[in-house]
Amino acid sequence: MKFIYTFLLLSIPLIVICQTPTKEQIKEVADAKKEVKKLKGEPFPEFDLTTLEGAQVSSKDTKGKIMLVNFWFTRCRPCIVEMPEMNEMVEEFQDEEIIFIAPTFDSHEQVSKFLQKRDFDYQSIPDAKDFCLEMNVRSFPTHFVVNQEGVIDKVVIGYSSMTVKALRKSIRKLLKSE
């Protein structure tokens, strides 16, 4: 029994050390966040993606519509915590011309399994690793509100009590400008 306790005491610091990001990794993520925030006012890149259900969603489908893009993944705690609020937003704006998509680098199987246990009313787009990299998204969740002309109106990185408020405000502003 004493051996097990000793083993655990010696193993835990090793596990923690292995999971601690390096200064270089932290700087890389911080730099990526800055670059993503600079996308505000830029055209959202063209895309052609496949939803979990197998439907195609492309930038051509978004012309003249507002789009909310939520980059997430199935093991992201903040992503999971915000999902009920994101679902409320989908319901609130259901009668508007708004497309809600949620790209993730997770596999089709991982997303399917996850969504059997949780509700997420966005169009989930699994296997979108290349798209995540193209957008330089390295922090999750990351949200983009894209206006009717295809230009990024708002970028929100991470989750806080203000996330949904900021996204709603941006959407309402765009709806008034129609």
Q: Where are the domains of the chain?
A: 1-38, 39-176
**Residue 96 or residue 3, greater confidence:** 96
pTM of the model: 0.85
% of the chain residues with pLDDT over 70? 89
Alpha-carbon distances, residue 112 vs 38, 43, 127 (angstroms): 33, 31, 12
> Which helix (H) or strand (E) segment is 123 a member of?
strand 123-125
pLDDT tens column, 43-93: 999 999 999 999 999 999 999 999 999 999 999 999 999 999 999 999 999
Q: What CA–CA distance (Å, rounded) separates 65 from 137?
A: 23
Which ranges of 93-128 would DSSP assign to H, the alpha helix? 108-117
Q: What CA–CA distance (Å, rounded) separates 167 from 146?
A: 11
| DSSP conformational letter for 46 | P
Provide the token pair at 79.
Answer: 């992503």
Provide the token pair at 99.
Answer: 């497309």
SS3 state of residue 85: helix
Q: Is pLDDT of 16 > 80?
A: no
Q: Is pLDDT of 125 > 70?
A: yes
What pLDDT score does 153 carry?
A: 97
User: Residues 114-133: what's their mean pLDDT?
Assistant: 97
- 39-176, CATH topology level: Glutaredoxin (3.40.30)
Q: What CA–CA distance (Å, rounded) separates 45 from 169?
A: 23
Q: What CA–CA distance (Å, rounded) separates 125 from 106?
A: 9
- Helix and strand numbers (H, E) in the chain are 6, 7
Q: What CA–CA distance (Å, rounded) separates 74 from 77?
A: 8
